[in-house]
Structure 1
Amino acid sequence: MNKFKYYFVLLLAGIAIVSCNKSDDDEVVVVPLRDYTEQYKADNDSILKYLKTNYIEEVNANFDIKITKIPAGGTQVSIWDQTDYPLQTRDVYNDGITYTVYYLSLRQGTGVSPCNYDRISTAYTGYLLDGTQFDSSSGLARTFDLDGAGTSGVFVDGWKEIFPKFKTGTSVIGADGVATYDNFGAGVMFLPSGLAYYGEATDGIKAYSPLVFTFKLFDIARLDHDFDGVFDFQEDINNDGYVYDFRDTVKYPNPPASLIDDTDGDGIADFLDADDDGDGFTTFYEITKPAGQIGNVGGINYGISTYYPWDPIVDNPTTPNTDETEPRGIPRRPTGDLTDPAKAESATNPRKYIDADYLEPTRLRIHLDKTYPYKKQ
């Protein structure tokens, strides 16, 4: 998807784009972007027409799909009406409106789902609604950052909304170093132009074009955008599989409260916030292990990491020379006995940690608990 390396970020709503056309007196003609709501209505009508006038001709054993237009008088069952791969939808808040995005799940996958800010490995092909192919990875795995960052970023918002609905598969590295994938998620997404390139025309794609992508999700890499030791997907407080940077008030003028993952309510989502609970202590500081709890200390294995993982992790069997076991996860505020039972709990008289503080599944981890560390007296 080389074109994704060079696309400019879609111009913000309300900012005019400049046409190459000029009037007779050489005055530049300024063409404002279309209204998102009105354009979405037109795009949705076009997508619905496509779904009702095209059919799935074939899905082969490798989950490659062929979609074909129903000929005049044809009796083929449309994508809309077929039941082998029921049409699914996801509501997406973007550009100040809520889009309904249609997609097909050819196979869910057996691994894990990316969050919308992870890095993915995928094979894909892109089509216009008239069936014209405008891009393809030619069946090969390509790597992209869903957040659009860097030269490998994806500037199609629809990708970051639909890929989290699928899971990765399994892989085997052959003697030639080539990976073979199986059990991967595979699907098709039908995107309105507002979740694609909108008013920007690019190679083979006119402005305001709805797009169709067929895809396979092979693998993912978890990312940590605020470098605080907690992966982005672990900072998804509402557990919906998505995180958003709602500081962009043009794109997100009135985000639904159900989508906000902001523990301290400071307007910065946890996955971008160095101090998630706003207690004055950075998240990285709060989850850093005491010096005496790194490695094997006194016959106890505390794990080799300098900070606590989100949850305990087991050894990686593919690295026999290294033990990655981390027996404890990020702890909650300690609940054990007071250092001095005769005195009140305080920074100078803390409670002791017990095993459940590191392991209890429903615990409120300390980097999300503004009552800990204790306030200085």
Structure 2
Amino acid sequence: MKTNDSNDANQHIGGVSRRDFIKYCSIMAVSMGLPVSAGIRIADAVVNPGRPPVIWLSFQECTGCVESLLRANHPTIEQLILSLISLDYSETLAAAAGRQAESARELSIQNNRGKFILVVDGAVPTKDNGIYCKIAGKTALEILNETARHAAAIVAMGSCASWGGVAAAAPNPTEAKGIPALVGGKPLVTIPGCPPNPYNLLSTLLYYITYHKLPALDAQGRPKFAYSRLIHENCERRPHFDAGRFATQFGDELHRKGACLYKLGCKGPETHANCPSVQFGDVGAGSWPVGTGHPCFGCAERGVGFSTPLHTLATIKEFTPPTFFAEAFPNKQGVPAGLKAFASGTAGLVVGAAGAAMLTGLGKSREKDQHGPDSGSEGHDQG
């Protein structure tokens, strides 16, 4: 395909110029760890008239996953539904209701056996044969089983669908479970979060449409392009962590100045997600919990969100902070008191440049301390 021809560049796809469309597809390719050149292949797949059918099921959920998708701007929800995929069934977005809506799901299964993508948000209750969630006279468990067996691939959207989420939180009276625990033998990807970022779903769908397979997944079935890094690694408050500047209560001086929220229970050090780099709502920087001054809840990490009390200290995972920190409170001359091996302004940079070898060495020397930094000064106690 030629992208430098003037006629080619002036073509429009869904109201967007071809040049801008390919540019968007190239950005999506890079976000998934693919070369920029893959953008052209993605663009080709997207404009293919054979749009993949999608059936979206909702069970024990709050509709937050769908609401998050509605706020995506590139593409918008109407571009997604009308141009990229064929959304054959969704309770939340359907114009039809009752028997007419259920007929649409049944007809799509019949006409697209082994070809459609199944997206599920919400957990599935299993106690007493699943009677705690019923739609059109059928339990969620029945609907899932009769739909999933004919799907080409399955996407568990949100933490509830991925591993139970809030519905499966103790004491879990309905014995709710995530989709991976109930469905086997099918390509399945989990996209946890409460709600997850809509672009993690859109990127996964684009990858599948283009390459007819799911992207590379981690051990929990999450796409690596979105869940391979800890939130803590890319957090905008990370320099404050490295320098030892922690808010200790909401509204204190350091909290108002944007200091690290670790001591308020931030779960960023043990939660894998791309929240700091791909934020919500396309409204600019700061549109995620930590950006607004609230600790990360760990909603995207199994065993953290909905399992660990909000304000307990996170366990530092796969990361060891510098041996020494700047004091949180500078002396009268403005020079941090007690500053030792690292300059406060460059502590994070030094750690980043030191590489894995340095971090491994520091980790061995601090195996006993699993609850964060401790420099031995009053600015770094855990209280």
TMscore range, shorter length: under 0.3
Structure 1 length as normaliser, TM-score?
A: 0.28
Say which structure is richer in helix.
Answer: 2
Higher strand share: 1
The structure with more radius of gyration: 1
**How does the TM-score come out when normalised to structure 2?**
0.27
